[in-house]
Amino acid sequence: MLRIIVCVKIVPKPEEVSVDPETWRLDRSHARSEINPPDMNAMEIALRLKDRHGARLDILSMGPPFFDPILRVALAMGADHVTLLSDRAFGGADTLATTYTLAKGIEKLGGADLIICGEESSDGATGQVPAGLAEWLDIGQITMVHDAQVDLERRVVRGRREIKGGHEILETTLPAVLSVATACNEPRFMDYRIKEWAFDPEQVTVWGRNDIDADPDLIGAPGSPTIVSGLEEATSRERKRRFLQGSPEDIARQLSAVIRQAI
């Protein structure tokens, strides 16, 4: 049977996050949390594959315990089980440590034919996690897919990417990582008939550092070489409108001088 793991990040609702004007830190304390919207698209691709082939669909997430009830939405949509990697030792992780921790979780789950991620998160938005996972797991990847098809006999996955003026199909062998293009499909609603099952405590497993046998030097702050060395407000340039006068040659000369000055 096809085995799929969808990596789901819980993020604060962007419209409810504010920036502390003194420290420039994000203040998430008043923001409600939700499943990272692109991960809903990733889940829809996984659920379509499950509908077509039959599959065991696991959800994997790393974060604090309060993620638990939000992750159950994925169960009510049709996932089979949720594993939450949660431990104080995972705190302060950059994308390198995050991908290592998620990869250890995937190994502990017994691996999968497909690991499906969103294209990027709505808060960190580096887009580094899918590629990082493929690297740690040493498997192929297809990024930004709009649709995926699996050929179980040939053990390959084909990802369709939309590009300017058409689309391209990329194929790689299983197991593989896919990242899914944001808003490429319409995620299905929860099935309210299984909502009660989804809230059964047994459907979510929480694993800490020892459960996944993670090297303490590669997780959390010790495993994170990235430092935030400064923050600057991104300002946009003031726009001005100026009418240039003269012959076409004069105007071209003036325009060229303005452009030279600006670059």
Ligand X SMILES: Cc1cc2nc3c(=O)[nH]c(=O)nc-3n(C[C@H](O)[C@H](O)[C@H](O)COP(=O)(O)OP(=O)(O)OC[C@H]3O[C@@H](n4cnc5c(N)ncnc54)[C@H](O)[C@@H]3O)c2cc1C
Smallest separation, CB 237 to ligand X (Å)? 28
* For helices 95-108 and 129-137, angle between their N-to-C axes, nearest 10 degrees: 50
Residue nearest to ligand X (CB): 124
Alpha-carbon gap, residue 156 to 244, rounded angstroms:
60
CA distance linking residue 146 with residue 121, whole number of Å: 17
Under the binding rule (CB under 6 A), the answer on residue 129 touching ligand X is: yes
When asked if residue 8 is in the footprint of ligand X (CB under 6 A), the reply is yes
220: left (phi over 0), alpha (psi -120 to 50) or beta: left
**Residue 112 near ligand X by CB under 6 A:** no
Residues 190-229 that bind ligand X (CB under 6 A): 224, 226-228
Angle at 99 between CA 98 and CA 103, to 5 degrees: 120
Q: Is 66 in the site for ligand X (CB under 6 A)?
A: no
Please report whether residue 7 would count as binding ligand X according to CB under 6 A. Answer: yes
CB 186 within 8 A of CB 205: no
Q: Does 98 bind ligand X (CB under 6 A)?
A: yes
Q: Tell me if 39 contacts ligand X by CB under 6 A.
A: yes
Q: Which of 14, 92, 110, 216 binds ligand X (CB under 6 A)?
A: 92
Euclidean distance between CA atoms 223 and 246, whole angstroms: 63
Which parts of this chain interact with ligand X (CB under 6 A)? 7-9, 36, 38-39, 42, 61-63, 91-95, 98, 102, 117-118, 120-121, 123-130, 224, 226-228
